[in-house]
Structure 1
Amino acid sequence: MYRHTQEEALQTLDASRQRGLSASEVQRRLEEHGPNAFEEKKPKTLLQMFLSQLRDPMIYILMGAVVISAALGEFSDAFIIVAVILLNAVVGVVQESKAEKSLEALKQLSSPTAMVRREGKVSEIPAAELVPGDIVLLEAGRIVSADLRLLSSVNLKIEESALTGESVPVEKDADFVAEGDLPLGDRINMAYLSTAVAYGRGEGVVSYTGMDTEIGKIARMISEAGTEMTPLQKRLADLGKVLGIVAVVLCVGLFGVAMLQGRDLMDMLLTAISLAVAAIPEGLPAVVTIVLALGVQRMVKVNTIVRRLPSVETLGSVSIVCSDKTGTLTQNKMTVTRLFMNDVTEEATRAEYEVYRLLINGMILCSDASVEDGVRLGDPTELALVDLGLAKGITKEALQERWPRINEQPFDSTRKMMTTVHKSRDGETISYTKGAMDNIIRNCPQILKDGEIHALTGPDQERIEAAARDMAADALRVLALAVRWDNTEAEESDLVFVGLMGMIDPPRPEAAEAVQIFKEASVTTVMITGDHKDTAYAIAKELGIAHSTDQCIAGDELSRLTQEELNSRVMDLRVFARVSPENKVMIVNAYRSHGHIVSMTGDGVNDAPSLNAADIGVAMGITGTDVAKGAADMVLTDDNFASIQKA
């Protein structure tokens, strides 16, 4: 639907933007498509889950041992073996319920209501009653109730991190039309079920509901996911088969020898059975459970909660660690790292406030973000500007007290700028314009250098553009600032260029060390992210994960590969960018096809299928969604990549 124009989308869905659907048409479509909800399988009963735990070679042997021990009058042995069987079955039931919990958490993400236009009137209805063709109204604070093709967008930004992994709200453009296949994060004319409207307003036509939505596809992958045995469980199952064969051979052999020697057959039968029972290590499952439980206790001390007991052993066998970027390898916090002013580029940590006073003050005042009493409000990019001020000892509140805002032009996607006007107590007026460098410089005939205003020349512009290119090459998000004095109307012409700021979500300080320790232990770290390829590679290079762009692949290219083609290439790849949930499962399966034990970390709804597919899934405890935690085997309580290495 993102490749259709608005008119084509409305025509395809047989919908009217002005009137919406009629009541009779809604009823017809509801019968055709079903409610806007996830399909619910009949859940297994506790008894069914319990009985399924008894289908194991070792358990069969132990059951045989119970019968034989009871027949021989060894009731204490029989009781102990029964206790071991029950303990293992209970642990298995707890493990099996995790997928159901993931799906239950997924249902909680859906918005309970939606604002729709039907028969020309706007009303609020239960989201489950939405049908394809409904016209839905969006505003800040609302959860998107279905997958929508946007029809209008006014400064619309949508938080899609749980679905795409993108840490910054996505700016939407209803007029955009894609020419080819695009990853989820680049479909800026679409809004998806369970994402949140962070800013602005808009309208959209429902294109998909229920299990046909992007979230619905994830729900289907979770529900269809099988349960894989861990390496330890596989070895124990193999051991059970061997012991069973040995026990049978012993019984038959001893009984056969007795027959040849003419001994009492009943006595020898009892002797043979006793020997077979003795060969069965009925205490082994209990010992394994105790050892793994001790491992769980140790891992709690390094901020790791184990949800599935056998995964303790699996972690020690991991040879590939697939990690999300945002919040795991990085700090999940946009940070200003570079400043450009007076033809000089400087690291933000070394920049003196007095030298960059106008640039820093202007960026802070020309923002709507705030940090008060530890509460952070606003866009992550603007919060980074406020944080820079705090690092230099300047608060936004103090600046606003001296320079209160008297006028403004809000940001919009056409201008890619915003302007605020401020007036001091002594009557001085100044306007700050912040935005994309190309748009800002186009409106700047002058430039500020060392406190003096000069005409902005061709060489000046070349130096500014070169500084911006250098920042962009390191995957920094670049913002420019311009000023104008005595401009009470917030006009965005005849501006004076001030400087640039570059920001990024930087790597965690301890992540590079953890990657190196993994490398020394012959464990390969792989980055899988919903972010752009350039940004992902810049972080991966800094952490030592990748050393060449040839080791990177984007989701659009990945989607064109078959599983077999990816299997043949995957060992040469270290960075996967702009990936979909289906891509992530393909990546995990590709590494496993080479015999690797794969760990997958994630925090979003989009990570749940791959957390299920991996040998061991690791979710984030702080930023992680309930869906991701429900699908994972382990949870990192500090969201820190280094905790995996410590565990």
Structure 2
Amino acid sequence: MIRHLWEQLFSRFLKKYHLTRYFSKSMSFKQLHQSSYAQQVGDQLNKTLTHASHTPNEVYIAEMSSQSAGLIESDAEQRQMKYGLNEIHAEKPLTWWQHLWYCYKNPFNVLLTVLAVICAYTDDMKGTIVISAMVMISTLLRFWQEAKSNQAADALKSMVSNKVSVFRQETGSKYQAEHHATTYQAQKNLFELPISQLVPGDIIRLCAGDLIPADCRILDAKDLFVSQAAMTGESLPVEKFATIPSDQQHDTMALDNILLMGTSVVSGTATAIVITTGQQTYFGALAQRVTNNDQTVTSFQKGVNRVSWLLIRFTLVMAPIVLLLNGFTKGDWTEACLFALSIAVGLTPEMLPMIVTSTLAKGAVFLSHKKVIVKRLDAIQNFGAMDVLCTDKTGTLTQDKIILSKHTDVLGNTSDAVLMLGYMNSYHQTGLKNLLDLAVLEHATMDMKKHQATAEKLDEIPFDFNRRRMSVVVKTADERARMITKGAVEEMLQICTHVEINQQVIPLTGERIESIIAQSQRYNRDGLRVIAIGYRDHDIETNKAYHLEDEQALILAGFLTFLDPPKDSSAKAIQALHRYGVTVKVLTGDNEFVTQKVCHDIGLPHQHIVLGEEIDRMSDQEFKEAVEKYQIFAKLNPIHKERIVSQLKANDHVVGFLGDGINDAAALRTADIGISVDTAVDIAKESADLILLEKSLMVLEQGVIEGRRTFANILKYIKITASSNFGNVFSVLVASAFIPFLPMLPIHLLVQNLLYDVSQIAVPFDHVDEESLQSPQRWDASGLGRFMIFFGPISSIFDITTFFLMWHIFGANTPAEQTLFQSGWFIEGLLTQTLIVHMIRTKKIPFIQSCAALPLLVMTVMIIAIGIFLPMGPLASYFSLQALPLSYFVYLPIILLAYMLLTQLLKKFYIKRYGWQ
């Protein structure tokens, strides 16, 4: 399971640097390392890493022209000019012509290009020009829209960057002056800088949750465990040391004191020196040489592809039928071939790629105004499809501002001695500082701070999520070594043998353990988080390194309790998400009592809470039912969270996960849409699809609505275009069977289709009815086919009515009068195709209960005007059209009105029977 987790995280790392196309989904990094690709990385790089591994610290620091206190800032700037930014550029940004080619190469444009070539070969230059215009408009609009959205996305992504703690010697340079205000100094010369600013020779500090930002040599380490499962296939994180390996060890992956870019710190701390950065790293060298392209297709892309191929299949079936029907009935196979090609063009939604891109880009810009940064555009649609949101409790449902409420002994009496122990522990730990530590540090008195100044730190045992505690060892005033340990109550009781009551140390009996647990649970029921504090004094041993086995035989001193009250907006946000069909489930590592109190305060069902230990005992069927039935899961480890998300997906839910800790990374990666915050640990941000600049559930409500609006407009275009085009083709089949001439020339169909496509440019900016935003939306290719077959032939009824009108009323019933017939159907066909947009864009009564947005109304009026002008104006003869008698325009509104009324009536029947997505 852990291996699976870190392989997923590595995959997300690839995606960040746009490397997924270079790594096969079926080939792990271990296989790459062992394959011929690894041999191509270069002997020089392996020699560089091996040399760094076998060189003593002081010597290697000198070789790198660095210092233990860090590089001088001016030196770092010079190195950056020499080595460049610490970034991977395996996939270079597309040049403008490459981007133009990318925008062109979709199935629809390729099909149209083939048709244009055929038209040119048959000397149909008008058809060639019109089809080429369609391709150019579609390609150029997509190119312009994507270029604009990419610029906006890059600007947004630059607001979220992973950082690393670097030792730099201040020089008063411009760079330091600009960054000093936004960095912290946990100790002298330690600054937080963007990973891209690292240079060879930099001295960096690493702790749990950090990505390894470059290839590094460890200078010192404390209980450092690094996951490199995706690279080596090792099932568990491996421990790394600062010691020099044996001379016989030259395998780059197995060097215990080398950290490779792309791996991650699971627990512990380390100081390291940067060996290589960017393209010069082991990861960068491999990435440059691997050209396997097996990029994962998202659910959104799968949906678009299914719809695209559905329409292409319709084209492949209908075009030959039209060809054969007209060829046999008219006898002119050349004209029949051109007409069939025009039908193929008519069935092709040329604007689909542009509509999808512009609609998603519009959604991303909207979310950016709500302080949500979209790392992957496709995630917007998943946002709208999401029907279950799993979220951590702390900082999401609560205020993320923890206050130290009490510091007591085990009997509940206020104890400054317990606060002093807690302060010493929080001050000296250098691992993953959290809000609990900050609350303790802020609560300390001046006397405690003075007393701490006389204490010397000897060692530290960092926190991890298995033992749920951490320890520091300090030298006391009486020259003794004191281990101070804090952690969850149950885990602390496992390593304590005595308890301090009224300044007396007495054995920790079973009865006292029950009393201590009861006391902590009383605090929990009041909504307080409880941390137990223990200590042990012993003689100082020179150069002793403390390890996990030293955490034993401690004296339990008391409790620190913390208040993390719910946000005022949490209850409203959850109610709003429920209104939009999103179920909120809480997945937390906190205990059940605190979780229950918080969930009670915000109105979540809290009668039954499922604990991690209960999950471990469940059968697969019980677990499947539990994740559906219950909303609160407590005392979870990272594997529990990932398993819950996976099961919800297996239950056919679209699952979002909101988290910001290292323990959330697996669930973030597994979810359909991973959501994190700008203040999250590096791994969480790498695993997420969306980054919130504000940790608020209210923002998620806006994201869900915008995701559904985006999807609704994309689906709107597909449904409208598919049904109207199918209706036209159906009308052609009827006309071809009974009329002795072509009901419409190929050029007429092409121009009509071109005008319609132009009108659809405004669809991304259309309104969406509130009712369409109330429930999650998903792709349904089969539903689209049914929609086409149901609504398409409705237009054919009025097309046939127009045929009757032109044939019997206006006498266009011979080949000599075919231009009049074709002009009459050209106008009616274009107007019905354009107006159907307003009928099908909403399930309400158009123009009365739901009106389209102004851009779509303007485009509709403009296209209708052009459609009438072409036959009636001076360009009519060029397009083989002719002016219609004015009496035609008496009948036309009646036909259009009847068409709209019938569509509205049948729409109600369709909604009642099949629903309306």
1:592 aligns with 2:644: no
Out of 614, 639, 642, the residue aligned to residue 695 of structure 2 is 639
Specify which of 285, 292, 296 is matched with residue 227 of structure 1: 296
Which residue of the other structure, out of 677, 690, 703, is the alignment partner of 1:620? Answer: 677
Distance 2:148 2:114 in 1: 21
1:476 CA drift (Å) = 2.0
Aligned to 2:519: 467
Output the CA distance in 2 between the equivalents of 1:340 and 1:472.
14
Q: Deviations over 1:451-507 (max 9, x none)?
A: xxxxxxxx999988753442256662246799xxxxxxxxxxxxxx99864115554
8 A Cα contact 1:327 1:639, kept in partner: yes
Alignment match of 1:384 (pick from 439, 443, 453) = 439
Q: Deviation string for 1:613-638 (max 9, x for gaps)?
A: 4322222123353x544543322111
Partner residue of 2:180? none
Counterpart amino acid of 1:367? Y
Structure 1 length-normalised TM: 0.54
* 2:529–2:594 CA contact under 8 A, matched in 1: no
Q: CA 1:594/1:277 → structure 2, altered by over 3 Å: closer, same or farther?
A: same
Cα distance in 2 for residues equivalent to 1:585 and 1:192: 30
SS in 2 for 1:305: strand
Name the SS of the counterpart of 2:350 in structure 1.
coil
Judge conservation of contact 1:536–1:577 (CA < 8 Å) in 2. Answer: no
SS at match of 1:239: helix
1:387–1:303 Cα change, 3 Å: same
Distance in structure 2 (CA, Å) of the matches to 1:607 and 1:173? 23
Which structure shows the higher strand fraction? 1
Q: Paired residue for 1:283?
A: 351
Q: What is the rounded CA distance, in whole Å, between the counterparts of 1:590 and 1:294 in structure 2?
A: 33
- Confirm whether residue 322 of structure 1 aligns to residue 374 of structure 2: no
SS in 2 for 1:513: helix
Question: Which has more radius of gyration?
Answer: 2
SS of residue paired to 1:316: helix
- The answer on whether the counterparts of 1:319 and 1:523 sit within 8 Å (CA) in structure 2 is yes
- Deviation string, structure 1 residues 26-55 (Cα, Å, up to 9, x no partner): 999959x99xxxxx9965884899878777
Structure 1 residues 606 and 93 mapped into 2: Cα distance closer, same or farther (>3 Å)? farther
Question: One-letter code of the match for 2:698?
Answer: A
Match of 2:129 among 73, 81, 85: 73
Residues in 1 aligned to 2:515 and 2:385: alpha-carbon distance in whole angstroms: 52
Aligned 8 A contact 2:391 2:657 in 1: yes
Match for 1:521 among 572, 577, 580? Answer: 580
The one-letter code matched in structure 2 to 1:236 is V
Query: C-alpha distance in 2, partners of 1:480/1:400?
Result: 16
What corresponds to 1:575 in structure 2? 633
Matched position secondary structure for 2:423:
coil
Work out the CA distance in 2 between the residues paired with 1:623 and 1:79.
44
* Contact 2:627 2:647 (C-alpha < 8 Å) held by counterparts: yes
One-letter amino acid of the structure 1 residue matched with residue 529 of structure 2: L
Using the TM superposition, give the Cα deviation of residue 643 of structure 1 relative to its aligned residue in structure 2, in angstroms: 1.6
Q: Do 1:56 and 1:237's aligned partners in 2 also have CA atoms closer than 8 Å?
A: no
C-alpha separation in 2, matches of 1:465 and 1:589: 34
Is the alpha carbon distance of 1:327 and 1:42 closer, same or farther for their aligned partners in structure 2, counting shifts above 3 Å? same
Q: Which amino acid is the alignment partner of residue 633 of structure 2? A: V
What is the Cα deviation at residue 80 of structure 1?
Answer: 0.5
Query: 2:527 matched to 1:477?
Result: no
Q: Map 1:144-183; keep pairs closer than 5 Å.
A: 159-161=207-209
Change (3 A) 1:88 1:610: farther
Instruction: Quote the offset at 1:318 in angstroms.
Output: 0.7
- Residue 307, structure 1, aligned to residue 375, structure 2: yes
1:241 aligns with 2:297: no
Task: Give the 3 Å change call, closer, same or farther, for CA 498–44 of structure 1 in structure 2.
Answer: closer
Q: Report if aligned partners of 1:304, 1:634 keep a CA contact under 8 Å in 2.
A: yes
Separation (CA, whole Å) in 1 of partners of 2:164 and 2:92: 23
Query: Whole-Å Cα distance in 2 between the matches of residues 550 and 173 of structure 1?
Result: 37
Deviations 1:143-196 (A, max 9, x none): 9xxxxxxxxxxxxx9952558xxxxxxxx997xxxxxxxxxxxx9996799xxx
Q: In structure 2, what is the Cα distance between the partners aligned to 1:342 and 1:230?
A: 53
Residue 62 to residue 460, structure 1, CA distance change in 2 (3 Å): same
- The alpha-carbon deviation at position 79 of structure 1 amounts to 1.7
Is 2:657–2:668's contact at 8 Å kept on the other side of the alignment? yes
Letter in 2 for 1:637: L
Matches of 2:369 and 2:363, distance apart in 1: 10
Aligned twin of 2:365: 297
Q: CA–CA distance in 2 between the matches of 1:577 and 1:63?
A: 60
3-state SS of paired residue (2:612) = strand
**One-letter identity of the residue aligned with 2:298:** M
1:510 aligns with 2:573: no
1:605 deviates by 5.9
Distance 1:616 1:412 in 2: 41
Q: Is the 8 A contact 1:478 1:500 kept in 2?
A: yes
Identity score, percent: 20
Alignment of 1:415-434 (within 5 A): none
Q: State the one-letter code of the partner of 1:518.
A: L
2:167 & 2:454 partners in 1: Cα distance? 38
Report if the CA contact (8 A) 1:295-1:312 is conserved. Answer: yes
Does 1:553 find its partner at 2:553? Answer: no
Distance 2:149 2:104 in 1: 9
CA distance in 2, matches of 1:57, 1:527: 43
Q: CA deviation at 1:441?
A: 8.9
Cα separation, partners in 2 of 1:380 and 1:638, compared to 1, 3 Å: closer
SS at match of 1:227: coil
Q: Distance in 2 between matches of 1:590 and 1:462?
A: 36
Match for 1:476: what amino acid?
Answer: R
Take 2:679 and 2:502, find their aligned partners in 1: how far apart are those partners? 48
- CA change 1:643–1:277 in 2 (3 A) is same
Q: In structure 2, what is the Cα distance between the partners aligned to 1:583 and 1:435?
A: 24
When residues 83 and 304 of structure 1 are mapped into structure 2, their CA distance, relative to the original with a 3 A threshold, is: same
The equivalences for 1:128-147 within 5 A come to none
Cα 1:416/1:310, change in 2 over 3 Å: closer
State the secondary structure of the residue aligned to 2:675: strand
C-alpha contact (below 8 Å) 2:523/2:529 kept by paired residues: yes
Contact kept? 2:645, 2:671, Cα under 8 Å: yes
Amino acid of the structure 2 residue aligned with 1:638: E
One-letter code aligned to 1:264: D
* Equivalent residues of 2:410, 2:516 under 8 A apart: no
| Aligned counterparts of 2:116 and 2:516: Cα–Cα separation in 1 | 81
State the Cα deviation string for residues 379-415 of structure 1 (Å, max 9, x = none).
74453145458xxxxxx45x679x8878658798899
1:319 Cα offset (Å): 0.6
Q: State the distance in 1 between where 2:485 and 2:376 align.
A: 50
